[in-house]
Amino acid sequence: MSDLNQMAEDAAAYFLGLQGRICAALETFERRVNGAQFREDQWEHETGGGGRTRVLVDGAVFEKAGVNFSMVRGEFSPELAASMPGEGAAFRATGISLVIHPRSPRVPTVHANFRFITKGSGPGQAGWFGGGSDLTPYYFRREDVVHFHRVWKAVCERHPVADYARYKRWCDEYFYLPHRKEARGVGGIFFDYVKERHEDVFAFVQDAGDHFLPAYTPIVERRIDEPYGEAERRWQLTRRGRYVEFNLLYDRGTMFGLKTGGRAESILMSLPPAVRWGYAETPDAGTPEAEMIEALRARDWAGESI
């Protein structure tokens, strides 16, 4: 087995374990209220491999939470193969992808994805890591955003192969809706095609995966019991529309999964269960909703005081 193939096996084992830990932590929140649990589906990819999708729907805390693990094999189309490193078209991809949509508009939506992909075989084989995590609040709370970014900055600073400033900027640029001229959320980190020093990068990816829960769950704890009304819920559903627009128009993971024959239910699990589109709705100046829009401008959150 080549070093890259062994790395794929090791990465898959880690991602599978991480899926279990994240689901268990999210179910802990639900057990405080109504005990909602994840449904699990084992599935096979049409060209080899498969995955384990876990989705929680209609929870008291999380309206929808999807945590997907996959390890699939196949061949890229000529067009897709030409856009990626390595020779040949055979690929192997493993990763974990998750999106959490809380019921309360006071609790942010969060996304994370970590993956390892190999392409080709023999001397021309290439392999690379990618991933990241970003936060999408509906109401701005400075301490939450600063906390989220500080966790990722600390993770990056422990690993010379990672560059927080670059990954943060990459995230700001990636999770952006050009047609709206608007960021999807307040960012985090994003990286892709990291194809050198695989052992060192894998150590960074594991550190990042291990710190997803410390980055997010303290925010849930702080906001879970804050009151809200119909107006706040309506705003949340409107902002979720932006989330849907990004995932269907621009998200690389969505496009990759669909173009490689992936399981549609697993790929589209990132979509929220309820959403609305109004018409030319703009929050009034001075409102909490307008404050949230203003906070979508990229800035050095980790360096801000609370």
Q: What are the residue numbers of the active site?
A: 111
Are 72 and 116 contacting, i.e. CB atoms less than 8 angstroms apart?
A: no
Burial (CB count <10 Å: 0-12, 13-18, 19+), residue 221: exposed
Query: How many other CB atoms are found less than 10 A from the CB of residue 285?
Result: 8
Measured CA to CA in angstroms, residue 279 lies from 112, 241, 245, 276 at distances of 30, 12, 15, 10
The Cα–Cα gap between 55 and 258 comes to: 19
Q: Which two tokens stand for residue 208?
A: 């990042």
The Cα–Cα gap between 151 and 212 comes to: 9
The Cα–Cα gap between 22 and 15 comes to: 10
